[in-house]
Amino acid sequence: MSDRLSVRKTYKLYVGGKFPRSESGRSYEVTDAKGGFLANAALASRKDARDAVQAARKALPEWSAATAYNRGQVLYRVAELLEGRRGQFVAEVAAGEGLTTRKAEAAVDAATDRWVWYAGWADKIMQVQGSANPVAGPYFDFSIPEPTGVVAVLAPQGSSLLGLVSVVAPVIVAGNTCVVLASERAPLPAVTLSEVLATSDLPGGVVNLLTGRVAEVAPWLASHMDVNAIDLVGAGSDQAIDLEVAAADNLKRVLRPTDEDWASEPGLHRMLAFLETKTVWHPIGV
């Protein structure tokens, strides 16, 4: 019998491409579906949310200026690394969500496939949404979709990995950066996903991942003046109303929980929700 002690993992936040502890020094217990202890996760604070927004804003110019082809390559690389750590994700999803191994495998495979699906849209969404408009006069008139900016995302509570991928991938594939609050009840697959992102080609700050309480962190993300949009899919019905009011005070784009079920087959809706259309006029012959 071996007397070796296993190396226990310290779960941290993911901000600006680095893994800081919460500035508050707090953590909370994460349990499995039966209430058994799994780990201590960092309990993000208001200051952590501000730091994450700052990191997302700093990363926005480079990421939004990257070619669509390059963004697609980067997202596909993330899918490759997801596939390589499949066993770890299956174990964490099964424990956190109380699934059988077979169902956890199906959820992880669906998450990887969905990431690939969105990666394939990186160099297509602009052509689908953009247009050359007929006008009366000697002008070219083009409508060009552009990223909204920094997006706050409240990940679905009931799906620790598939739900997370379903709401993060469509945000960043279009050139936005984001601050994500992981599932409060089952955050461990999200932390592992942040390790995948850190070892991929994704620039630091494009995705910033926080763990903690929705009731504590979400109001600050909704009211933050440097957040351009928010996805409320992970908020409860009562919380969503208050968060939407807070977001309205600073003119955020809001994707309501009822706008689309993340669990449905992926489509263009979530990508288009965080794109803005700019119309450009140019004289013919100049």
Alpha helices in the chain (DSSP H): 46-65, 68-84, 86-97, 101-120, 125-129, 162-173, 188-198, 214-223, 237-248, 269-273
- What are the pLDDT digits (tens) for 103-152? 999 999 999 999 999 999 999 988 888 767 788 888 777 788 899 999 99
What whole-number distance in Å separates Cα of residue 100 and Cα of residue 83? 19
Q: Which residue has the tokens 């600073």?
A: 250
Question: Hey, what are 93's tokens?
Answer: 């999803």
What whole-number distance in Å separates Cα of residue 164 and Cα of residue 191? 11
Is residue 221 in some structural domain?
A: yes
Coil, helix or strand for 276? strand
Is residue 21 in some structural domain?
A: no
Decide: pTM greater than 0.85.
yes
Is residue 102 in some structural domain?
A: yes
Nearest CA to 213 among 30, 9, 17, 18? 30
Is residue 255 in some structural domain?
A: yes
- Find the domain containing 131 and state its range: 27-283
Is residue 52 in some structural domain?
A: yes
Is residue 131 in some structural domain?
A: yes
pLDDT at 119: 96
What whole-number distance in Å separates Cα of residue 205 and Cα of residue 191? 15
CATH of the domain at 163: 3.40.605.10
Regions of the chain short of the pLDDT cut 50: none
Is residue 165 in some structural domain?
A: yes
Terminus-to-terminus CA distance in the chain, angstroms?
A: 81
Number of domains in the chain: 1
pLDDT at 237: 83
Is residue 13 in some structural domain?
A: no
Whether 10 contacts 20, CB under 8 Å = no
Which one-letter DSSP state was computed for residue 98?
A: T
What whole-number distance in Å separates Cα of residue 122 and Cα of residue 128? 11
